[in-house]
Amino acid sequence: MTQANKGFLGRLREQLGKTRSNLVDNVKRVFSGHTQINDDVYDELEEILVEADFGVELSLALVDEMRTAVRQRRLQNPDELYAVLKEELVAALEPGDHTLRFAADGGPHVTLVVGVNGSGKTTTIGKLASHLKQQGKTVMLAAADTFRAAAVEQLTIWSERVDIPIIRHQDGADPAAVAFDATDAAIARGIDCLLIDTAGRLHTKVNLMEELRKIQRVIGKRYPEAPHDVLLVLDATTGQNGLQQAKVFTEALNVTGLIVTKLDGTAKGGVAVAIQRQLGIPIKYIGVGEGVEDLQPFSAVDYVEAIFT
Amino acid sequence: MFESLSQRLERAFKNLRGQGKLTEKNMKDSLREIRMALLEADVNYKVVKQFIEDVQAAAVGQNVLESIQPGQQIVKIVHDELIRVMGGANEPLRFADAPPTVIMLVGLQGQGKTTTAGKLALHLKKKGHRPLLVGADVYRPAAIRQLEVVAQQAGVESFSLGEQADPVDTCLMSRGEAQMRNCDVILLDTAGRLHVNEEMMAEVRRIHAQMKPHEILFVANAMTGQDAVNSARQFNEALPLTGVILTQMDGDARGGAAISLTHVTGRPIKFVGTGEKLDALDAFHPSRMADQILGMGDIVSLVEKAQETVDQEKALAFQEKARKANWDLEDFLGQMQQLKKMGSISDLVTKIPGMSKMMGSAGMDLEEDEFRHMEAIILSMTPKERHNPKIINGSRRRRIADGSGMALQDVNRLLKDFEQTRKMMKSMMKGKGPLGRAKGKRGKLPKGVGPFPGM
């Protein structure tokens, strides 16, 4: 672990340490409770992975990979198996671009933030805005959730907290128009980063998904490269439906990354690993609390460490 | 809602159906399928383990060799066990002997507490109560404002001391407010909180101690995965939960959380949220949910909903027509208009036995917009065409497409779908085909009210 990562990892551990999570205890039990690798170890490993929301399919696949690794590498004890598992998971999480894709032409970097209801989009935007501002960037928010009661007010309060401008219309206004105006304003004012909040929507609502496509299209009309990033916000407590969410959102939009929120609870967000593996969508940030500072850039090694240590 | 789980179980039972007799070996296969299906549906690992053991114990106890239809036998056992886990019969809300009744909503962040509070308020208002919505979430920005807006939309009273006040004080003051405004139910919308946040859990315990709610409802989202057991367990230890509300049931989550939550808390699911509109709150019926999980549909719920909104006589006439198979586009249009009154179409569709299976395999996705489009197309037809779609030739199709502003393919698709639906309905009404399994169920329906053909 490098020095630079220590703060992040420390924070994550601290959050995870609020209660001794089941997973940690389980892992310890499996890997230190057995002196050799037998079927019990594999069974318990399966249980741990399933309970971390990796999904049955991925859990079984991982266990199979472990069996193969044990055979091929002639592993003797559970500790070695544990190291291989961590390697596998890091390898699964690492591919892809885990940072924002800042505009090459110096124009504003436009990020569209999407997700199902209650995943934490607005809070994440507030935290992300603060994070970007701390990096010395000028940031602007766009309140394109014109549907949910008081969503615009919620984002406005965040803009006041972080002390950055916000573009907003009336409740019930066309969200694509808000996005267009905001893109326009960001260009005119020479803003570095524009973060666009959208209404939460279930991926099964065809019309609402079409609305998102329209928003993406309309932004592109004003600024052909934009949006540079489309971030899907995923609640870490989500089960296997997360995979379906990611699939449908990816089909509708050019999703460039995931933000996994609420990792400060006891949920492990294993479905994000399934999403990365199956759809190749990298995690860009993780949310570990409600404070402004509780959004962390993603690191595969730290993520896996935080799950298992 | 639970298509995938239903499909999975159906496949498991199919393996049994061909066998004729139940043997230990083939039951093992089915149980493994059921186990996988339940895990994929996000039922907690340990809960599944217990569930499978119970099902196995129940099956082994029976004389399996005498079983003529082993598939049906397993369906029954799994069905009963699902009902048992989900908490038996539907439990209504408990009201205070002397008003006000205090109802408290608790849960993690982002589960839909505030929206659910609004839905519950509207539900209570419809039942003749006067609810007071109390905003006790001082943490999430604009949460109190959101509750005010929701209260306005529901046409009920709301109250809060604002974000600067201690939420416990807001709750305490609400008693006086309720009395002053002549409200008989106090609905407390508390902030979302993590079960591991001790400070926040202490706050909610303080509210509980001061308000002594008659109902403490844990609001959880149907998409929740394995962690449902952890949060529910800790909330249940902190507060004497009286029930669960499962939200976002209008998505395609398999909803295994329903089983995990009831298993861990030992408390029933009292309501389910089925959409973003304030009237999208349904009572929860374990037996119907089990039916649904097993792909047996939720015909009773559908009929109840239909009785509320649909013109009974019209429904009867439709059914009569359907039976005689002279159901035409005019009838179809009328039905669509009735159905629109009943709420989300996709929600309704899953309630019809066998429908979830068909929808799943056809990859169909009925949305309100599609309904509007179909309506436009039919409205662009002459009465003659509506009564006898067979006469609609190429030039008529083009005219209809132009008239409705839809593409020619859309018109073609509608006509084709309609013809297929009509055929399907014919077999439905004869109790054959994909819906044949529901026959026994239909016998229990109120006289004269049938399933909605073709929807």
- Provide Rg for chain A, Cα atoms: 21
Q: Are residues A67 and A116 in the same domain?
A: no
**pLDDT at residue B17 is higher than 90:** no
Which residue among B140, B142, B226 sits closest to A239, beta carbon to beta carbon? B226
Domain contains B447: no
Q: Does residue A157 share a domain with residue A51?
A: no
CATH of the domain at B118: 3.40.50.300
The verdict on a CB contact (< 8 Å) between B250 and A238 is: no
B positions 261-300 inside 8 Å of A (CB): 276
Judge whether B121 and A133 are in contact, CB under 8 Å: no
Domain assignment present for residue A86? The answer is: yes
The pLDDT value given to residue A253 = 97
Q: Which of residues 153-172 of A touch B (CB under 8 A)?
A: 153-154, 156-158, 161
| CATH number, residue B413 | 1.10.260.30
Q: Do A18 and B368 touch (CB under 8 A)?
A: no
Shortest CA distance from A117: residue in chain B: B110
Beta bridge partners of B402: none
B197 plus B256 within the same structural domain: yes
User: In whole numbers, what is the pLDDT of chain B averaged over residues?
Assistant: 78
CB contact under 8 A, B109 and A120: yes
| End-of-domain residue from the set A30, A59, A93 | A93
Count of the separate structural domains present in chain B = 3
Most confident of the following: A251-265, B73-87, B299-313 = A251-265
**Who wins on pLDDT, A5 or A85?**
A85
**Is position A99 within any domain?**
no
Evaluate whether residue B449 is within a structural domain: no
- Put simply, whether B109 touches A (Cβ < 8 Å) is yes
Whether A265 and B143 lie within 8 Å, measured CB to CB: no
Q: How far is A152 from chain B (nearest CA, A)?
A: 9
Q: Does B433 touch chain A (CB under 8 A)?
A: no
Chain B: give the shortest CA distance to residue A105, in Å: 35
B90 touches chain A (CB under 8 A): no
Residue B287 lies in a domain: yes
Domain boundary (A33, A65, A93) is at A93
B146:A22 CB<8 A: no
Mean pLDDT of B396-425: 85
pLDDT, position B128: 96
Residues in chain B within 8 Å Cβ distance of A204: 250-252, 346, 365
Q: Which residues in chain B have Cβ-Cβ distances shorter than 8 Å to A266? A: 195-196, 227, 230-231
CATH number of the domain where residue A266 is located: 3.40.50.300
Do A139 and A240 reside in the same domain of the chain?
yes
The answer to whether position A122 is within a domain reads: yes
CB distance B40–A151 less than 8 Å? no
User: Cβ distance A171 to A146 under 8 Å?
Assistant: yes
On whether residue A84 sits in a domain, the answer given is: yes
CATH number at residue A16: 1.20.120.140
| pLDDT for position A143 | 97
For residues B222 and B350, give the distance between their C-alpha atoms in angstroms, rounded to a whole number. 16
Domain with A45, as residue range(s), is: 3-93
Same domain, A157 and A290: yes
Q: Residue B298: is its pLDDT beyond 50?
A: no
Answer yes or no: do A158 and A270 share one domain.
yes
Average confidence score pLDDT of chain A: 88
Which residue of chain B comes nearest to A160, CA vs CA? B141
Do residues A203 and A149 make contact, with C-beta atoms less than 8 angstroms apart?
A: no
Q: How far apart are CA B115 and CA B109, in angstroms?
A: 12
**Does the bond joining B453 to the residue before it have cis omega, within 30 degrees of 0?**
no
Residue A67 inside a domain? The answer is yes
Window 105-124 of A: residues touching B by CB (8 A cutoff) are 116-120, 123
Q: Tell me, what DSSP letter sits at residue B341?
A: H
A175 plus A303 within the same structural domain:
yes
Residues A192 and A133 in one domain: yes
Average pLDDT of B274-297? 77
pLDDT of residue A29: 59
Chain B residues lying within 8 Å of A154, measured CB to CB = 140-143, 146
A207 vs B: CB within 8 A = yes
* A231 and A135 fall within a common domain: yes
pLDDT at residue A153 in the model: 95
A150 Cβ under 8 Å from any chain B Cβ: yes
Q: Is residue B173 one of the residues assigned to a domain?
A: yes
Angle at B326 between CA B321 and CA B332, to 5 degrees: 75
Q: What is the mean pLDDT of residues A226-251?
A: 96
The reply to whether B226 touches chain A by the CB within 8 Å rule is: yes
- Residues B317 and B403 reside in one and the same domain: yes
In a domain, B95, yes or no: no
Same domain, A54 and A79: yes
Beta-carbon separation of A149 and B153 below 8 A: yes
CB contact A267 to B (< 8 Å): yes
Cβ neighbors of B7 (< 8 A, separation 6 or more) are B295, B357, B360
Residue A142 in this model has a pLDDT that exceeds 90: yes
**Residue B445 within a domain:** no
What is the arithmetic mean of pLDDT over B72-86?
A: 77
Planar angle of CA A42, A45, A50, nearest 5 degrees: 125
Q: What is the pLDDT of residue B28?
A: 77
Nearest CA among A44, A20, A43 for reference residue A30: A44
Q: Which residues of A touch B32 (CB under 8 A)?
A: none
Q: Are residues A131 and A272 in the same domain?
A: yes
Which residue range is the domain that position B207 belongs to? 101-296
B352/B268 same-domain check = no
Say how many C-beta atoms besides its own lie within 10 A of residue A214's C-beta.
14
Q: How many domains does chain A have?
A: 2
Do B134 and B260 fall within a single domain? yes
Which has more confidence, A38 or B207? B207
Distance from C-alpha of A199 to C-alpha of A130, rounded to nearest angstrom:
21
Say yes or no: B39 and B114 in one domain.
no
In chain A, the residue whose alpha carbon lies closest to the alpha carbon of B228 is A237
Q: What is the CATH number of the domain that holds B21?
A: 1.20.120.140
Cis ω before B434 (30° cut-off from 0): no
Together in a domain, B288 and B408: no
Domain boundary among A93, A122, A149: A93
Instruction: Please tell me whether residues B29 and B137 are part of one structural domain.
Output: no
Kindly list the residues from chain B whose CB atom is less than 8 angstroms away from the CB atom of residue A268.
227
B305 lies in some domain: no
Residue A31 maps to a domain: yes
Q: Is there a single domain that holds both residue A300 and residue A151?
A: yes
Look at B414 and B195; give whichever has higher pLDDT.
Answer: B195
Tell whether B292 and B315 lie within a shared domain.
no
Task: Find chain A residues with C-beta within 8 A of B227's C-beta.
Answer: 53, 236-237, 265-268
Among the ranges given (A46-50, A249-253, B58-62, B386-390), the one the predictor scored with the smallest mean pLDDT: B58-62
Largest CA distance in chain B: 73
Question: Does residue B197 sit at the A interface (CB-CB below 8 Å)?
Answer: yes
Provide Rg for chain B, Cα atoms: 25
Same domain, B211 and B264: yes
Does the residue A104 lie in any domain?
no
Contact A264 B146 (CB under 8 A): no
Separate counts of helices (H) and strands (E) for chain B: 21, 8
How many whole angstroms separate alpha carbon B307 and alpha carbon B449? 8
Q: Which residues of B touch A22 (CB under 8 A)?
A: 230
Q: For residue B96, tell me if it sits in a domain.
A: no
Could you give the CA distance from residue A173 to residue A156 in angstroms, rounded to a whole number?
A: 16
Among A25-29, A166-170, A241-245, B178-182, where is mean pLDDT lowest?
A25-29
Q: What is the dihedral of CA B39, B43, B44, B46, to 10 degrees?
A: -70
Number of CB pairs < 8 Å for A and B?
152
Mean pLDDT, rounded, for B146-162 = 97
Long-range pairs of B326-329 with CB within 8 A, sequence gap ≥ 24: B327/B422, B327/B425, B327/B453, B327/B454, B328/B386, B328/B387, B328/B388, B328/B389, B329/B378, B329/B381, B329/B385, B329/B386, B329/B387, B329/B389, B329/B418
The partner residue sitting opposite A262, judged by closest CB among B41, B109, B228, is: B109
Average pLDDT over residues A129-152: 95
Predicted local confidence at residue A175, as pLDDT = 97
Per-residue pLDDT band for A8 (boundaries 50, 70, 90) equals: very low
A149 interaction partners in chain B (CB closer than 8 Å): 145-146, 149-150, 153
Measured between beta carbons, the chain A residues lying within 8 angstroms of B151 are none
Yes or no, beta carbons of B196 and A19 under 8 Å apart? yes
Q: Which of B141, B225, B346 sits opposite A238 (nearest CB)?
A: B225
Percent of chain B whose predicted confidence (pLDDT) is above 90:
42
The answer to whether residues A150 and A187 belong to one domain is yes
The answer to whether residues B110 and B233 belong to one domain is: yes
Question: B426 and B385, same structural domain?
Answer: yes
Q: Which of residues 54-83 of A touch B (CB under 8 A)?
A: 55-57
Q: Chain B interface, mutation test: which of A13, A24, A152, A205, most B Cβ atoms within 10 Å?
A: A205
In a domain, A158, yes or no: yes
Query: Are both B165 and B291 inside the same structural domain?
Result: yes
